[in-house]
Chains A and B, each alone.
Chain A
């Protein structure tokens, strides 16, 4: 079993005893012996061989590693859009390793925000509607949804673009909209897989800084996967994955 190497000296509770969530420092996510195996042409390939670790609350954690090492696979499992072949996953101390499709969707809606490499805004919706969109499941009142969308768009500095379509704004602006969309449900965990890969370096730094800022402002944990080590914010936790193992 691999141990986690983090730049900060945070020790996960290796006994996996129930954690008091109100206790400062209790991790948002714990994952233990996660294994993900793909079968291709009858050959089993381990995308993740055996990874364990945790994500601290209100922190930004970077996941790094070479291409094909299993970063995305780990993020997808943490984001409950993929299931591990074996291993355990706890989010807010709830065992979410084997959720049904519906339960996983409900959990994502409640606790997880996604930021994608290519922004993934819904093209036919305006910027404001895109931010409103995740609230459809949770907030019945349209005016309340609208209000929240405005508030979060404002927090990413795009309040005046609210009625534009995604096609009418820049890449950096689109990713800011995506950040507002991820934040609007006030999730426990924000998952960002290569959020800056489609952006120039200046904008990339701005986006990472914005995400890093949001973690404390909105009480959320941010997990960013990148292979651009220059983006790693000083003082952040890092999980380095090499060849399906935490290194």
Chain B
């Protein structure tokens, strides 16, 4: 009967109820859409990062703290044996889709034709395995990263950042759109650059690096080896690709793993890290524990990290949007609270005599409270339904429009996918919260209603 009374009173004051439900609905709608966006960031940005660097990464103990200063002291020795060890574990074998090494390196790159040279930072990866990682879609959101542009067969191929291409004067030769080469001024070539270029040219003649890919613009890379002796390689640029961070884009060189290993370690099987991709994202923590167990049991001085421990970018992006979401939600909640307080107060005011009657008929204050709180809960429910249906409709429109945005972590844009219903727990929480806010906001006017003096209430017209 209480629901009947509540529902009928809402329909009786249809315009007021609809206005209030709309206020709740619009607030909830905004929260759902924004939340849908944050959800898509959660899935999308993580997917991008997992595609780039795997869910888990193994480093030598202490690498994250001190490795940057002295990378050679913190390499994984015999990475191939470690990879084999993990692959031979029956549990890990099920979970790990990709185990692939990476070498991080830095040095000087020069171009013989333009005479340009500059420092580079880069990585050596196994192209086929990187391309395999780029296909990861553990949350089935249909997001793929483009192939690396390198192939296993072409050991001397590299992909460089757009900024790097620009500074090396290679936009033209590489046909990079929206990229202007630094004007070449022969006289301006510094002595160092000239020296470096000639040094590389001499060296290259001696080592006679892979020929046959003459068409490609060439780059000479010099990296300091662990023994301190600079090693030089001549590579061919396959493509220029934008990198997320400008400073890295200006210096980035991605090369074949064997190329990097040859430059730095010669024949020794060393790698900076082993990147591991876990097929099922729900299994990441369990897999991580298992890996550490296996590593420890083998007495290896290695530690496995979640990719967010290595690179805090994701947590920062997600934290920022979550913070924004919370602020927006609080503002929306305040608006909703005021609307509800207003509506309930008006409802109470109009029904003072009814309240007096109900109390005279022998109902306790609690009944009066329950009556009005039920109305508020119903309004909240209607508002939430408005919010949910509007959010689903608009999200579908936006999603099919294919709007693009580039998260701070990414070099290439992602398609905006507002995930409203994809995270049912979130959608249900918003609905629940809207109802809760409606009820909680009504507590004060409702308690006032219950405290009304019965005799005075009955005297109202």
Contacts and interface: CB of A to CB of B under 8 A. Distances in A.
A36 B319 CA distance: 65
A231 B458 CA distance: 24
Contact of A81 (B1, B364, B365, B455): B455
B363 A137 contact: yes
Contact of A120 (B4, B353, B367, B455): B353
B360 interface: yes
Given A76-B455, A81-B455, A105-B359, A122 B5 contact: yes
A106 interface: yes
B4 A129 contact: yes
Nearest to B357: A120
B362 A108 contact: yes
Contacts of B204: none
Contacts of A124: 4-5, 8-9, 12
Interface residues on A, range: 20 to 34
B364 A106 contact: yes
B289 interface: no
Interface string A129-160: 10011101100000000000000000000000
A73 to B, nearest CB: 9
Contact of A114 (B5, B354, B360): B360
B176 interface: no
A120 B354 contact: yes
B5 A125 contact: yes
Contacts of A112: 362
Contacts of A81: 359-360, 454-455, 458
Contact of A105 (B2, B12, B362): B362
A79 interface: yes
Interface in B1-43: 1-2, 4-5, 8-9, 12
B362 A134 contact: yes
Interface string B423-461: 000000000000000000000000000000011001000
Contacts of B363: 105, 109, 136-137
Given A82-B454, A116-B458, A102 B364 contact: yes
A103 to B, nearest CB: 10
Interface string A110-127: 101010100010111100
A79 B360 contact: yes
A168 to B, nearest CB: 14
A134 B362 CA distance: 7
Pairs of residues from A and B, 7 with the lowest C-beta to C-beta distance, nearest first:
A109-B362, A124-B8, A108-B362, A120-B357, A81-B454, A105-B364, A134-B361
Interface of B: 1-2, 4-5, 8-9, 12, 353-354, 356-365, 367, 454-455, 458
Interface of A: 76, 79, 81-82, 101-102, 105-110, 112, 114, 116, 120, 122-125, 129, 132-134, 136-137, 181, 185
